[in-house]
A and B are shown apart, each in its own frame.
Chain A
């Protein structure tokens, strides 16, 4: 047999032909990231380390079958690889494109921001899949060694894979921010937040009696799926040129997932459904409220077509202004969901005497989202529509959380003057604590309600008044030509 001819290095066509290792239908970003990612030292070292640990745990299992320590050792490394090491590789995914001065070059091609972000995420997950595939033979061998529930292990690995997909989406989405500290805070905050939320959700699921494992798993899968979409589109819209509209799709998808989640009300897991709906709408609203206003009238062009699109424009056009109306829409929808769940699905419907408290709580919850906007538009008007808006918003929310914890602790320590203390710090989160503390006292109910309503009004009015020039342009551009 004659060996195939070695292509002449000088023959450009022969050299270029070598670039057919990945099919043409693969996303260019996916191909690029796979080629780069699998060549990094981190990937190789992590893969070899995982294989070594798997072999060691298998040998340890042989020596001591059914040992909990060996089992823990096995899963600890799988968890670290899938939930920490792999997602953290996406920490610089988008910001590095700015650092390397390549983002401009990519944006001049046919790749839009969504395809860039999705490609990076898919590539990272493809590499995670390699890790998972690498672990599978050891799962089978553990099963043959005995004392291992193979199906439970497989389900655990699957959920770890899904968790890894979400964690990667968080890391890649947040990597759109070029500031290392902000990026770090967001990733760590999201990780902690999601762990707490899932703990809360799980306890709720169990409390509601597990209306069926399949429904619970379905709802979890839906929230994971939306989480991935949200963080990827969040990152995409942050790197997108202002001529691209990602907001409409983001908001419509949030409403779609809300509707799908509501379908699970028929499986007796209503509390979990409410939590998931709150999460979906909450994330979508924070994003919408911190978006820059569109500069390009071209983005608004599709909304000028007819009366229906102009009405839709109120809620779905990019920018914080459309974001405020979208937020109000979501707020009303969520209030409706809570009322429907309470009336038709819950064993303890809201009583007439609770209604004022209920309205106060709902409005104060809405104010939690709007309140930072008052600060931003009053004190940082120059940053009200820029890339810093989200950072400032997050910072203010963090400060408010800290303030609320301090006020609540103080009020508890000096319980005689708790209403006075609450009145001195008129922020929505403190108001929520105050309602909880003084809900039974009818004298304060109406005051709290009035304060909540006033805050809501200010939360909407101040941004619109402070940015009236931008608002004027925005409204003018939506008028039919």
Chain B
């Protein structure tokens, strides 16, 4: 049963606004959200959220439990309706054109749904039939999906007997049956063992290479950082950051920090840094130290390494030190708590 109509006034107004605007087209963004809000009795789950996801992008959606990730994703998947604001997928409004939106999205919920007393093949066949595939086309779609998710060997296995990782692959396969343009994946890696995580990540990478737009939520920031073109941070229903993982790792600093390990005498490093322009010795480590370079430019960082080698320093390791995404997330949260306003870049 869907939501009660206690807030029908808002929803109707939202729908009217949706009718008045929005046009589908190949040039429209894959996902566009404008001042979206959703409230339930006593809970403001999503507040005034706006963002755009271009076609072919992989976007990570990050936030703590109850931050509003699933609510936003469910609205995008036409499974819930906004209390105010608008949401478009492939140029179609989720309220006024739910059928069109459903045709272009593949939805994978956090708790994937599967049936008992049913084999993998029967499960895919049911959804292929329900999506309207008939005859050879249905068979081809099932075969393609099984091949892609490597489920062919498990076709006759009962779903009850699948591991969590296999189950997630099956669920991804179901979401891909109608070859959707946009994939909305809510916590797909939750509860998976490392091997299954790697497999899932691999599949998502292939999908991204094929040009699919992937909107994925997860708690595991490092994984999202590797996969995503940009990250959206949500906290208490509000977007607090939208930018690339790279920019997040760098933070707002104008300098770079490199960690250097030497094969020989480590005192030489501090001495060398005191004589070099644009370089400051920050601290010593067990086998080297950390240097601060007055630039973010890769060329300048590379030139520092070149000079070290030319000056005869026995460099065993030289790498740019980045903030962990988790640290960046916590830092942003701290800044918000201090300033009281979201930072959306």
Residues on A close to B: CB < 8 A?
9-13, 15-20, 24, 28-29, 31-32, 35-36, 39-40, 100-111, 176, 178, 238-243, 292-298, 319, 382-387, 469-470, 472-474, 476-477
Query: Per DSSP, are chain A's interface residues mostly helix, strand or loop, or mixed?
Result: loop
CB <8 Å contact, B15 and A16: no
Binds A, one of B144-152, B214-222, B232-240, B276-284: B144-152
In chain B, what residue has the closest Cβ to A107? B79
Given the complex, which residues of B lie within 8 Å of A105, measured CB to CB?
107, 109, 113, 127, 174
Question: Once the chains bind, are A100 and B113 in contact (CB under 8 Å)?
Answer: yes
Selecting from B25-33, B131-139, B254-262, B293-301, the interface stretch reads B131-139
Q: Within the assembled complex, what's the spacing in Å between the Cα atoms of A16 and B132?
A: 16
Q: Nearest chain-B residue to A9 (Cβ)?
A: B153
What 3 A-B pairs are tightest by C-beta distance, nearest first?
A: A386-B4, A102-B113, A28-B129
With A19-B142, A32-B126, A296-B95 already in contact, the answer to whether A12 and B152 are too (CB < 8 A) is: yes
Q: Provided the pairs A9-B153, A110-B130 are in contact, do residues A470 and B121 lie with their beta carbons within 8 angstroms?
A: no
A320 CB to nearest B CB, Å: 10
Cβ-defined partner of B153 (8 Å) among A10, A16, A470? A10
Task: Tell me the residues in window 113-130 of chain B with beta carbons closer than 8 Å to chain A beta carbons.
Answer: 113-118, 121-122, 125-127, 129-130
Roughly how many angstroms separate A101 CA and B79 CA in the complex, as a whole number? Answer: 12
Q: Knowing A11-B152, A15-B146, A18-B121, say if A100 contacts B41 (CB, 8 Å).
A: no
Q: Which chain B residues lie closer than 8 Å to A295 at the CB level? A: 3, 5, 7-8, 11-12, 81
Chain B min CB distance to A187 (Å): 18
Majority secondary structure, B binding face: helix
Which residue of B has the minimal Cβ distance to A294?
B5
**6 interchain pairs, CB-CB under 8 A:** A28-B126, A31-B129, A109-B127, A292-B5, A384-B6, A385-B6
A472→B8 CA distance, assembly (Å): 10
Most buried by A among B6, B142, B152: B6
Q: A36-B118, A470-B8 are in contact. Are A108 and B107 (CB under 8 A)?
A: yes
Q: Which residues of B contact A382 (CB under 8 A)?
A: 4, 6, 41
Q: Which residues of B contact A40 (CB under 8 A)?
A: 117
Whether, in the assembled complex, B96 has its beta carbon less than 8 Å from a beta carbon of chain A, the answer is: yes
Q: A447 vs B171: C-alpha distance in the bound complex, in angstroms?
A: 66
- Using known A-B contacts A297-B15, A297-B16, determine if residue A16 contacts B121 with beta carbons closer than 8 Å: yes
With an 8 A cutoff between CB atoms, is B335 at the interface?
no
In the complex, what distance in Å separates the CA atom of A261 from the CA atom of B214?
Answer: 56
The reply to whether B139 and A104 contact each other, CB–CB distance below 8 Å, is: no
Q: How many residues of B contact A (CB 8 A)?
A: 57
State the CA gap A395–B19 with chains docked (Å). 40
Give CA–CA (A294, B15) in the complex, Å: 12
Contact, CB under 8 Å: A108 / B102: yes
Shortest CB-to-CB span from B221 to chain A, Å, is 25
Bound CA–CA A10/B151 (angstroms): 9
Pair A104/B134 contact, Cβ less than 8 Å: no
Task: Tally the A-B contacts, defined by beta carbons under 8 Å.
Answer: 168
Docked Cα-Cα span, A238 to B2, in Å, equals 8
Q: Which residues of B contact A476 (CB under 8 A)?
A: 12
Please, which residues of chain B bring their CB within 8 A of the CB of A298? 15, 95-96
A106 pairs with B4, CB closer than 8 A:
no
Interchain CB contact under 8 A, A104 and B113: yes
Complex contacts, B146 vs chain A, CB 8 Å: 12, 15-16
Name 11 extra pairs, CB < 8 A, besides A100-B113, A104-B107, A176-B1: A18-B121, A24-B129, A32-B122, A35-B118, A39-B118, A101-B113, A104-B77, A104-B113, A108-B77, A108-B102, A298-B95
Q: Which residue of B lies closest to A296 (CB)?
A: B15
A243 and B144 alpha carbons, distance in the complex (Å): 33
A24 touches B109 (CB 8 A): no
Report the separation of the CA atoms of residues A408 and B73 in the bound assembly, to the nearest whole angstrom.
56
If A101-B113, A104-B107 touch, whether A32 touches B118 (CB-CB below 8 Å) is: yes
Complex alpha-carbon distance, A176 and B2, angstroms: 12
Looking at the assembled complex, report how far the CB atom of B331 sits from the nearest CB atom of chain A, in whole angstroms. Answer: 35
The reply to whether the CB of B307 lies closer than 8 angstroms to some CB of chain A is no
Give Cα distance in the complex from A292 to B11, angstroms: 14
In contact, A36 and B117 (Cβ under 8 angstroms):
yes
Kindly state the separation between the CA atoms of A385 and B152 in the bound complex, as whole angstroms. Answer: 47
A5 to B2, CA, bound (A): 50
Could you say which residues of chain B place their CB within 8 Å of the CB of A104?
77, 79, 107, 109, 113
Nearest CB of A to B125, in Å: 4
A466 vs B277: C-alpha distance when bound (angstroms): 77
Residues of A near B102 (CB, < 8 A) are 108-109
Please measure, in the bound complex, the distance between the C-alpha atom of A238 and the C-alpha atom of B4, giving whole angstroms: 11
Tell whether, in the assembled complex, residue A17 and residue B8 are in contact, meaning their CB atoms are under 8 Å apart.
no
Quick one: which of B96, B130, B134 contacts A24, CB cutoff 8 A?
A: B134
Instruction: Give chain B residues whose Cβ lies under 8 Å from the Cβ of A28.
Output: 126, 129-130
The contact string, 1 if C-beta is below 8 Å from chain A, for chain B 20-52, is 000000000000000000000100000000000
- What's the least CB distance linking B215 to chain A, in Å? 15
Q: Is the CB of B155 within 8 A of A9?
A: yes
Contacts of B3 in A (CB 8 A): 242, 295, 386
Q: Is B98 an interface residue (CB 8 A)?
A: yes
The answer to whether A19 and B113 have CB atoms under 8 Å apart is no
Are B114 and A100 touching (Cβ within 8 A)?
A: yes
Nearest CB of B to A127, in Å: 13
Point out the residue from A109, A387, A470 that lies within 8 Å of B9, measured CB to CB. Answer: A470
- Flag B226-255 by CB within 8 Å of A: 1 or 0 each: 000000000000000000000000000000
Q: Counting CB contacts under 8 A, is B208 at the interface? A: no
Closest CB in chain A relative to B120 CB, distance in Å: 10
Contact status of A238 and B1, CB under 8 A, knowing A28-B126, A473-B9: yes
Given that A35-B122, A298-B15, A386-B4 are known contacts, is A102 also in contact with B114, CB under 8 Å in the complex?
A: yes
From A41, which residue of chain B is reached at the shortest CB distance? B117
B72 at the interface (CB under 8 A from A): no
Are B16 and A239 neighbours in the complex by a CB distance under 8 Å?
Answer: no
Distance from A91 Cβ to chain B, minimum over Cβ atoms (Å): 16
Residues of A within 8 A of B153 (CB): 9-10
Q: Bound state CA distance, A382 and B1, in angstroms?
A: 16
Q: Which one of B16, B79, B132 contacts A108 once the chains associate, using CB atoms below 8 Å?
A: B79
Contact partners of A20 in chain B: CB under 8 A: 139
Give complex CA distance A106, B109 in Å: 12
| Min CB gap A384→B, angstroms | 8
Minimal beta-carbon separation of B73 from chain A (angstroms): 11
CB <8 Å contact, B15 and A101: no
User: CB-CB < 8 A to B147: which residues of A?
Assistant: 12
**When chains A and B are docked, how far (Å) is the Cα of A292 from the Cα of B109?**
27
Say yes or no: is B140 at the interface (Cβ < 8 Å to chain A): yes
Pick from A10, A32, A176, A385: contact of B5, CB under 8 Å: A385
